[in-house]
Amino acid sequence: MIQRMSHATIFVTNQNDALEFYRDKLGFRVHTDAMVGPDFRWLTMCTNDQPDFEIILMEPKPGMLMDEETSKTVRALLDKGVLGAGVFNTNDCRGTYEEMKAKGVQFVSEPAERPYGIEAVFRDNSGNWFSLTQPTGES
């Protein structure tokens, strides 16, 4: 039986830029940052509240998992902004929205009441969009 999720991959256009964005604008911290061989950087980040869930920030590079065409396709999807990478939870959607906005994070939609809570939608600096949700009952 599967118990829980420990890792999930988010494709990013540049690992250095993504690290800065996730750390400085989203408040994540680096979990592991290690070069494995000359071309493969294993970079994972986590939130303070969930240190055992690692988000793998991976560049779609040709020559390893992907061929040239596939990596171009993934980059094009990122550029188009069609990849939705998940939902982050907060206990204060409006406050976090203001904080992130002040730091320059681009929002697709402002905080709004939904049947399940208060939700805003933002993008990371690679083009992935995320829901920022304050579930009903949390404040």
Partner 1 sequence: MLPDVETLERLARARDFIDHCYDHPLSLDQISEKACFSRYHFLRLFRQAFNKTPHQYLIERRIEKAKELLRAEDDVRVTDVCFEVGFQSLGSFSSLFHKCVGHAPITYREKARETEASKRQVPGCFLVMYKLESV
Residues of the shown chain interacting with partner 1 in the complex, contacts defined by CB under 8 A = 7, 32, 34-37, 40, 42, 56, 64-65
The distance of closest approach from Cβ of residue 123 to partner 1 in the complex, given in angstroms and rounded to an integer, is 26
Distance CA 16, CA 3 (A): 32
The smaller minimum CB distance to partner 1, of residues 42 and 107, is found at 42
The distance of closest approach from Cβ of residue 75 to partner 1 in the complex, given in angstroms and rounded to an integer, is 17
The smaller minimum CB distance to partner 1, of residues 1 and 34, is found at 34
Within 1-139, strands assigned E span 7-11, 29-36, 40-46, 54-58, 84-89, 107-114, 117-123, 129-135
Which residue in 61, 126, 47, 37 sits closest to 90, CA to CA?
A: 47
Q: Which pair of tokens denotes residue 77? A: 């999807």
Distance CA 44, CA 90 (A): 20
The distance of closest approach from Cβ of residue 54 to partner 1 in the complex, given in angstroms and rounded to an integer, is 10
The distance of closest approach from Cβ of residue 73 to partner 1 in the complex, given in angstroms and rounded to an integer, is 17
Q: Are 65 and 77 in contact (CB under 8 A)?
A: no
Distance CA 59, CA 61 (A): 6
